[in-house]
Every structure is written in C-alpha cells, then in structure tokens.
C-alpha cells in the first residue's frame, strides 16, 4: 500500500482538523449492502420507489418493510475495522468529524463521537403531520407503527431519513460544509460520490487546501482530485493508515 505518497507525512505531522466523509462502502465489510454495486440495493429496487416521498406515499408498507429490514440488519451487525479505525483517529488529532451518508449508526457504535448524519438515521422516526422527531431504536414496531405517539394521527409516521428530492438537514449540512472548509486532512471512504449535495464536500475541502485521501475499491469522480488514492477495502486499509498516523503522531 503506497503510504509513501508525497505530502502524506507532512500533512499528518501538521494536521489539527480531520474530516472523514463516508458512504455505504465503509459498512460493506459489516455485511450491509451498498447501493450501486452489483449486489447493491439499486440493483434490486428502484431508488425512486424506496428512497423518495412519492414511493412512500404510493406504498408506505413496502418502504417501511425495507427500512425495518435494514434497521434489523444494522442492529444484528457490528462495526468493522473501518469504523473502529476512524474512532481510533480521535486519539491523534485535535478534532475529528465524521460526515456520513450512512444511516446505520455504526460509526457511533464504534466510538466516533462527532458524527454528522447527512442522510438521517434508521433509528429515528418523524411525523409528517406534527413534524415530531423521535428516537425509536428500542421501538418494537407493530402494525400500528404508523400512528404518531405525539399527535396520534394515523399513518403519518415515516423514517427520519433524507429521500431523493428532499433537502438535507440544514444545520447538519452547514456544519459539514464548515468542517470541510477547515479540514487539514479530508478522507473520502466508501462512497461513489455521486449523490449531491453531500458529494460536494470533498471538493470544498480540496478548494480549501485540505490533503485529500480517497479509500475505495474502485475509482470515483474524487479519484482525479485526490492527493492520495488508497485502492482496496476500507476495513483492510484503514488499520494500516492508523499505524502510519500513530508512528508519525505519537
Ligand atoms: C436534494 C436515503 C433538493 C437514505 C439517499 C435530478 C432531480 C432531482 C434531484 C437531483 C437530480 N440530479 C441530482 C439531484 C440531486 C439528488 C442526487 O444527487 N441524485 C444523484 C443520484 C444524481 N440528490 C437529492 O435528491 C438530495 N436532495 O437534492 O434536494 C432540494 C433542496 C432544497 C429543497 C428541496 C429539495 C437527497 C440525496 C439523499 C438521497 N438519499 N438515501 C437511505 O435510505 O440510506 S441516497 C443513498 O446514496 C444513500 O444515502 C447513500 O449513502 C448515498 C450515496 O451512496 P454511497 O453511500 O456512495 O453508496 P454507493 O453504493 O453509491 O457507493 C458505495 C461505494 O463504496 C462505491 O464507490 C464502492 O466502490 C465502494 N466500496 C464498496 N465496498 C467497499 C468500498 N469501498 C471501500 N471498501 C469497501 N469494502
């Protein structure tokens, strides 16, 4: 693995702020499907059918079934070495922020403390009627899970995730943009970097002189602007990157 790339050692020596932008590829080695791979969700389902409000309104039970299956899978799985490596990096830099597109909460379960959930969470629901949002990690979903516990309006409860055509949570996106601007090192891991506005973050970091590292099994649009591309599985590469950081920063 080419960690000797020009600039990496210097970047690690002087960095204060580390920002990590992740997508479903970081959870792949935990057994959670990605979206756009051959085995990905979009190979079986249409994103418009499952990850859009129209799809939810047309067939709420199918959308709920998909999210509850994903939620169960996330609960049954464990963070992998990619998640734990990002948590370990908190020992070596003043500030480590994770801006994730993932909704599986595996970064938090691995010990990352500052996680921006750009696309929401499998473990929160919200009411379309009264806009109440609540944690439902311990909810045992039953047939009446459509009833809002706050306003009791029937069939108004949906997953608190960002669907296509919906805006990202304003404060979270603004914070992610600010952190990308302030990043000394910006790691892009396990994302195809095609979903906007989240995918703008690496470009913002690069424009603000961050050292850009990409970790992916395949090339993406970010590859051409990365200062260092580490080609391979995040769960295998990241523990080695932590060793490199530890040797420089200890
Ligand atoms: C918005 C829900 C506007 C949560 C998701 C035309 C019409 C309308 C909109 C648009 C348009 N053109 C562009 C847009 C914007 C649209 C968009 O970007 N579309 C793209 C597809 C062209 N974006 C939106 O609609 C956003 N909203 O624009 O609103 C607006 C503004 C103001 C007011 C009103 C409206 C909303 C985007 C969020 C959509 N929600 N999901 C969920 O169910 O999870 S998207 C979905 O894609 C997930 O969130 C996912 O996180 C995200 C990104 O995918 P990735 O995580 O990157 O996963 P992917 O499978 O693609 O890639 C995996 C990568 O990992 C691969 O590169 C692979 O090589 C790599 N990999 C695999 N294994 C490993 C690995 N790497 C390392 N190690 C491994 N082991």
Q: Supply the DSSP symbol for 161.
A: E
Residues 103, 186, 8, 112, Cα dihedral to 10°:
-40
Which secondary-structure segment (H or E) carries 60? helix 60-76
HSE of 64, CA atoms in CB hemisphere, 13 A:
17
- Tokens 């403390």 identify what position? 113
- Which residue's C-alpha comes closest to atom 8 of ligand 1? 165
Question: Residue range 85-99: average pLDDT?
Answer: 98
Q: What is the pLDDT of residue 110?
A: 98
- When pLDDT is cut at 50, 70 and 90, the band that residue 43 belongs to is confident
Mutate to test the pocket of ligand 1, among 165, 172, 213, 230 (most ligand atoms within 8 A of CB): 165
Mutate to test the pocket of ligand 1, among 196, 222, 223, 240 (most ligand atoms within 8 A of CB): 196
The pLDDT mean for the chain works out to 93
User: How many angstroms separate the first and last alpha carbons of the chain?
Assistant: 21
- When pLDDT is cut at 50, 70 and 90, the band that residue 139 belongs to is confident
- pLDDT at 16 > cutoff 80: yes
Question: Residue range 157-161: average pLDDT?
Answer: 95
Beta-bridged to residue 161, according to DSSP, are 120
One-character DSSP codes across 200-250: GHHHHHHHTTPEEEEEESS--TTGGG-SEEEES-HHHHHHHHHHHHHHHH-
- When pLDDT is cut at 50, 70 and 90, the band that residue 12 belongs to is very high
Ligand 1 centroid, distance to 119 Cα (angstroms): 9
- Please give the model's pTM, rounded to 2 decimal places: 0.96
- The verdict on the CB of residue 194 being under 6 Å from ligand 1 is yes
Q: What is the pLDDT of residue 1?
A: 62
- The verdict on the CB of residue 163 being under 6 Å from ligand 1 is yes
63 contacts 50 by C-beta, under 8 angstroms: yes
Question: Which of the listed ranges 65-69, 82-86, 144-148 does the model predict with the highest average pLDDT?
Answer: 82-86
């Amino acid at each position: 693995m080419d960690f000797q790339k020009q600039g990496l050692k210097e970047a690690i020596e002087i960095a204060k702020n580390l920002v990590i932008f992740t997508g479903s590829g970081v959870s792949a080695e935990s057994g959670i499907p990605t979206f756009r791979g051959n085995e990905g969700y979009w190979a079986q389902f249409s994103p418009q059918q499952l990850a859009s409000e129209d799809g939810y309104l047309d067939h709420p039970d199918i959308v709920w079934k998909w999210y509850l299956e994903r939620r169960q899978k996330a609960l049954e799985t464990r963070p992998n070495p990619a998640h734990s490596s990002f948590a370990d990096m908190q020992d070596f830099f003043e500030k480590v922020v994770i801006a994730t597109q993932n909704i599986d909460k595996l970064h938090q379960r691995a010990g990352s403390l500052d996680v921006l959930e750009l696309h929401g969470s499998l473990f929160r629901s919200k009411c379309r009627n009264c806009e109440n949002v609540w944690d439902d990690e311990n909810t045992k979903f039953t047939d009446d899970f459509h009833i809002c516990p706050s306003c009791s309006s029937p069939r108004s409860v949906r997953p608190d995730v960002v669907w296509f055509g919906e805006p990202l949570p304003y404060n979270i996106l603004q914070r992610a943009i600010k952190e990308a601007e302030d990043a000394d090192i910006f790691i892009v891991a396990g994302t195809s970097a095609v979903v906007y506005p989240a995918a703008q973050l690496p470009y913002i970091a690069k424009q603000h002189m961050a050292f850009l590292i990409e970790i992916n099994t395949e090339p993406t649009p970010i590859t051409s602007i990365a200062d260092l591309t580490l080609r391979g599985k995040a769960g295998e590469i990241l523990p080695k990157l932590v060793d490199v950081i530890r040797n420089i920063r200890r």
